[in-house]
Amino acid sequence: MEQQPHAFERSVFVNCPFDSDYLPLLRPLLFTILYLRFRPRIASERSDSGESRIDKICSLIRECRYSVHDLSRLRAGEIGEISRMNMPFEFGIEYGCRLFGAEPLTEKRCLVLEKDPHEFRKAISDLSGIDIKHHGNEPEGIIRAVRDWFVETVGLRRVHSATRIWRRFNVFTSSFYVARLADGFTDRDLNMMPIPEYIDFTEAWLAE
């Protein structure tokens, strides 16, 4: 089924780690996209055992005009650990889709995130000429990077400040925690909540 044009224009593919260590960055990242009235799309939004993961990722990339790629986890964390290549691989698919695809894919725009300025260029020197934003592994930093990119590249205007969005995220997080505990969720439930469920709760809170 073909995606509706308006869905393509408001969709943002999110390419990032899915481990628990990244959760403090993932949630403010998703919140910011939703706060700006766009729709985050992420590989973990559905789990069909009969669907190839790479096919799912390619489908999501094709369905989104915008994308965010966090390449801050390329370095192996321990001796003997293999570096993570999923994120740069998916960014490469995005780049090729934009370069070789037919319209409207040629109009795709992407944001590359990194922990520190210029860090990822040590691993992928071919990207030395592209603009990136860094977040310093800070939740507030990722909100500021994503918000500013939407102003600079997507063209949003009259957008609330990064500080205001950060404060609203903290209000939401407190409200979300209290409400879910009242619904019978445990801390483990909240930490392991599926991404689509978290997005639904966030959208409902923002709508109120």
CA distance 15 to 87: 6
More confident residue, 41 or 127: 41
pLDDT value at 5 more than 60: no
More confident residue, 53 or 168: 168
Confidence of residue 83 (pLDDT cuts 50, 70, 90): low
pLDDT value at 100 more than 50: yes
* Cβ atoms < 10 Å from Cβ of 26: 23
Q: Are 110 and 43 in contact (CB under 8 A)?
A: no
More confident residue, 122 or 52: 52
Tell me the three state secondary structure of residue 128.
Answer: coil
More confident residue, 100 or 19: 100
pLDDT value at 57 more than 90: yes
Q: 181 to each of 45, 56, 173, 185, how far by Cα in Å?
A: 23, 33, 12, 5
Judge residue 23's burial from the number of C-beta atoms within 10 Å of its C-beta, 0-12 exposed, 13-18 middle, 19 or more buried.
middle
pLDDT value at 2 more than 60: no
pLDDT at 50: 73
Instruction: Please spell the DSSP secondary structure of 56-77, one letter per residue.
Output: HHHHHHHT-SEEEEE-TT-S-S
In sequence order, which ranges of 150-207 are alpha helices (DSSP H)? 162-182, 187-191, 195-207
